């Protein structure tokens, strides 16, 4: 069967994980791999691996497994990683810095072609092999370098404006690290990474576990407060 259309979102999100596992397996000179082994490496179960891979086509061999190199190529191709993608990073604070130095991008074909910042004090500063450029140059850079993806690493307050300017300049995919919701036209792909939200989600499950294990003497007071809260309707909030 020639690769079936419409790969589910959840599957797409797992392909990069399989890809990484396969790179390791290939480095270890294994030439085939079973769905079960790949599942272990990817931290999922074997049925999911098989279903996911079946969306790409029937690339395995029954009784044997998947050819590692072949699968590597197919997944790379699906993810569009057989070519380089030029990216720009807007906002060179702590996070922008870390992103600019992050070797994982280059390793997967994401080539940083420019670092931009609105702060005139930063413009001109050298960072690795890049010189920080002014926001005014955004449009030119995007056009000249055919930039596909823009990364927003600015403070939240300016994130929407930066997104607008990226879109205006012709960028059609955006990765947003600013801790705020931004909106873009329908034709622009948008993903977000929010560091403090991840911690808050963890906090939820952590608290849940603590409560479940009865290990939280100091939570008892809070439960009392909660009860009061459920009965009363007016509550003053500890400053957020």
Chain residues binding DNA by CB under 7 A are 1, 8-11, 33-36, 44-48, 50-51, 53-54, 58-66
Specify the DSSP class assigned to residue 116.
Answer: E
Reduce the DSSP state of residue 176 to 3 states and report it.
strand
Please give the Cα distance from 145 to 124 (Å, whole number): 19
Q: Which is nearer to DNA, 47 or 136 (CB)?
A: 47
Among 19, 49, 132, 152, binds its own copies (CB under 8 A): 19
Query: Between β-strands 173-176 and 149-152, what pairing exists: parallel, antiparallel or unpaired?
Result: parallel
- The alpha-carbon radius of gyration of the chain (Å, integer) is 23
Reduce the DSSP state of residue 126 to 3 states and report it.
strand
Could you give the angle at which helices 138-145 and 156-169 cross, rounded to 10 degrees? 50
Please give the Cα distance from 235 to 229 (Å, whole number): 7
Stretch that binds its own copies, among 14-22, 28-36, 47-55, 132-140 (CB under 8 A): 14-22
Task: Mark 95-134 with x for binding to its own copies (rule: CB under 8 A) and - for no binding.
Answer: x-xxx-xx-xx-xx-x------------------------
CB of 24 to DNA, least distance (A): 17
- Residues ≥6 apart with Cβ < 8 Å to 41: 21, 24, 25
CB of 23 to DNA, least distance (A): 18
Q: Which is nearer to its own copies, 105 or 139 (CB)?
A: 105
- Residues ≥6 apart with Cβ < 8 Å to 38: 18, 21, 22, 25, 46, 49, 66
CB of 12 to DNA, least distance (A): 8
Give long-range contacts, CB 8 A cutoff, 24+ apart: 134-139.
Answer: 135/90, 135/165, 138/88, 138/90, 138/165, 138/166, 138/169, 139/165, 139/168, 139/169, 139/170
Contacted by 34, from its own copies, DNA, none: CB < 5 to 8 Å by type = DNA
Q: Establish if 203 lies at the interface with its own copies (CB under 8 A).
A: yes
Contacted by 158, from its own copies, DNA, none: CB < 5 to 8 Å by type = none
**Residues of span 53-92 touching its own copies by CB under 8 A:** 57, 67, 69-70, 72-74, 76-83, 85, 87
CB of 8 to its own copies, least distance (A): 12
Is-contact 117 141, C-beta < 8 A?
A: no
Q: Establish if 23 lies at the interface with its own copies (CB under 8 A).
A: yes
Q: Which is nearer to its own copies, 136 or 146 (CB)?
A: 146
Among 25, 33, 38, 42, binds its own copies (CB under 8 A): 42
Task: Mark 144-163 with x for binding to its own copies (rule: CB under 8 A) and - for no binding.
Answer: ----xx--------------
């Amino acid at each position: 069967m020639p690769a079936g259309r419409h790969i589910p979102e959840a599957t797409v999100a797992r392909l990069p994980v399989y890809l990484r596992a396969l790179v390791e397996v290939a480095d270890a000179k294994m030439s085939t791999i079973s769905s079960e082994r790949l599942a272990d490496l990817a931290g999922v179960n074997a049925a999911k691996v098989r279903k996911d891979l079946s969306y790409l086509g029937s690339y395995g061999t029954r009784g044997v497994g998947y050819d590692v190199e072949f699968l590597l190529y197919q997944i790379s191709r699906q993810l569009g990683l057989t070519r380089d993608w030029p990216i720009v990073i807007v906002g060179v604070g702590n996070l922008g810095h870390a992103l600019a130095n992050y070797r994982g991008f280059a390793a997967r074909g994401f080539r940083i072609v420019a670092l931009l910042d609105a702060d005139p004090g930063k413009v001109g500063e050298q960072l690795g092999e890049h010189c920080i450029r002014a926001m005014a140059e955004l449009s030119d850079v995007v056009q000249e370098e055919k930039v596909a993806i823009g990364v927003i690493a600015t403070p939240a307050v300016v994130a929407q404006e930066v997104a607008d300017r990226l879109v205006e300049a012709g960028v059609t995919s955006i990765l947003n690290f600013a801790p705020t919701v931004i909106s873009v036209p329908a034709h622009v792909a948008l993903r977000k990474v929010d560091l403090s939200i991840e911690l808050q989600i963890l906090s939820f499950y952590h608290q849940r576990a603590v409560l479940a294990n009865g290990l939280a003497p100091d939570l008892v007071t809070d439960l009392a407060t909660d009860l009061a809260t459920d009965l009363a309707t007016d509550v003053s909030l500890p400053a957020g």
